C-alpha cells in the first residue's frame, strides 16, 4: 500500500482550504527503463474528498499528472473539528484513504 497522504485543512471564516500531498509514482506508460523496455502505466484515476461523509470534490486524472501530486481546493461551511477524508484509486485498482481534522 502507498504511503499516507499528507492532508492539511485550515478554516478561515466560512471557507476551509484543503491541501493534499499524495505519494504515488504516477508512471505515464511512455518512459523506458535502463534496458529499453517501456515502463507500464500506473497512475491515479479518481480522487474524491468528503466533508463529514458528504462528497465535496471529485476529480478524474490521467497519466499526465506528475509524481507525488499536490491538490488544493476550498470547502465552504467546514469548521474546526470537522473531518475531511480523501480517497484515490489508481488504474491498477489500488486505493488509499486518509483523513484530517479541520483546524
**Beta bridge partners of residue 38, listed in sequence order:** 32
CATH topology of domain 6-101: Immunoglobulin-like (2.60.40)
pLDDT at 2 over 90: no
Domain boundaries, the chain: 6-101
**pLDDT 10s digits, 27-80:** 999 999 999 999 999 999 999 999 999 999 999 999 999 999 999 999 999 999
Rounded to whole angstroms, the Cα distance separating 89 from 26 reads: 12
Instruction: Encode the chain in three state secondary structure.
Output: CCCCCEEEEEEECCEEEEEEECCCCCECCCCECCCCCECCCECEEEEEEEECCEEEEEEECCCCCCCCCEEEEEEECCCCCCEEEEEEEECCCCEEEEEEECC
Residue whose cell numbers read 490521467: 62
**pLDDT 10s digits, 38-53:** 999 999 999 999 999 9
pLDDT at 1 over 60: no
Amino acid at each position: 500500500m502507498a504511503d499516507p497522504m499528507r492532508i492539511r485543512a485550515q478554516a478561515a471564516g466560512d471557507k476551509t482550504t484543503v491541501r493534499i500531498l499524495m505519494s504515488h509514482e504516477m508512471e505515464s506508460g511512455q518512459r523506458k527503463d535502463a534496458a529499453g523496455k517501456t515502463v507500464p502505466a500506473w497512475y491515479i484515476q479518481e480522487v474524491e474528498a468528503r466533508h463529514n461523509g458528504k462528497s465535496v470534490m471529485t476529480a478524474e486524472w490521467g497519466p499526465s499528472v506528475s509524481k507525488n501530486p499536490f491538490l488544493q481546493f476550498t470547502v465552504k461551511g467546514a469548521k474546526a473539528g470537522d473531518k475531511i477524508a480523501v480517497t484515490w484509486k489508481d488504474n491498477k485498482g489500488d486505493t488509499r484513504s486518509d483523513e484530517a481534522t479541520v483546524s
